[in-house]
Amino acid sequence: MKAYLKFDYTILTKKIVEEKLAALNLKFSVIGFGEIELQDTISNEKLELITTALSEYGIEIIENQKSILIQKIKDTITEMVNSEEPLSVKSSVYLTEKLNHSYGYLSNLFSEVTYTSIENFIMIQKIELAKNLILNNQLTLTEIAYQLNYSSVAHLSTQFKKITGITPSAFQRIIAKRRVQSLKN
């Protein structure tokens, strides 16, 4: 039997970090998504233990200031895309307000370090969420387009095809076909 799971990356990551740090008897507080504050000064050996414990889950500690800001941009975009309510402001305004830097600076830095634009990263995140929403089979394409702040299903379909090579409808048919096949097996 196959089971389809829905999970929140933010909650999952926070839980893993909290459990691993607690297991190492560290006093800490969670400041925000992807940001913690250790209450005590830690030795290099303890830092290595933390790094090892988190790395098995693909979580790493960032120390370079540019890398920290890039991660904050990615985290803010992920938070923005996964928000239950559509944004009432443009993504550039949202990022500027959340990160206290001009959008021009954020955009140039992001492109310089990641070799892609913020807009492209947002589009990729939205399409990944759209794929998950289609897999969960609970929303129509119109509802998905609205939730992801697209002006129409056609706009969603255009970007979906640009990223995946197929339309959302074709993706739905493939998923439905696979589900039928798995039920037969």
138 is a domain residue: yes
26 is a domain residue: yes
Beta bridge partners of 35: 32
Q: CA 153 from chain center: how many Å?
A: 22
115 is a domain residue: no
- Measured between alpha carbons, how far is 129 from 147 in angstroms, rounded to an integer? 10
Q: Mind listing the pLDDT tens digit for each residue in 77-116?
A: 998 898 877 777 889 999 999 999 999 999 999 999 899 9
155 is a domain residue: yes
E strand or H helix at 22, and its extent?
helix 9-23
Task: State which of 61, 78, 94 marks the end of a domain.
Answer: 61
94 is a domain residue: no
Task: State which of 25, 46, 61 marks the end of a domain.
Answer: 61
96 residue type, one letter: T
101 is a domain residue: no
The domain that holds 133 is classified in CATH as 1.10.10.60
92 residue type, one letter: S
- Tally of domains within the chain: 2
CA dihedral sign, ordered 162, 165, 170, 175: negative
- Measured between alpha carbons, how far is 9 from 183 in angstroms, rounded to an integer? 28
Q: Mind listing the pLDDT tens digit for each residue in 3-20?
A: 777 777 777 888 888 888
Structure-token pair, residue 109:
């830095």
CA dihedral sign, ordered 117, 74, 51, 35: positive
Task: Give the domain range for residue 133.
Answer: 122-184
- Measured between alpha carbons, how far is 94 from 80 in angstroms, rounded to an integer? 8
Top pLDDT among 107 and 50 is at 107
103 is a domain residue: no
146 residue type, one letter: Y
Task: State which of 40, 61, 82 marks the end of a domain.
Answer: 61
179 is a domain residue: yes
Q: Mind listing the pLDDT tens digit for each residue in 112-157?
A: 989 999 999 999 999 999 999 998 878 889 999 988 888 899 999 9
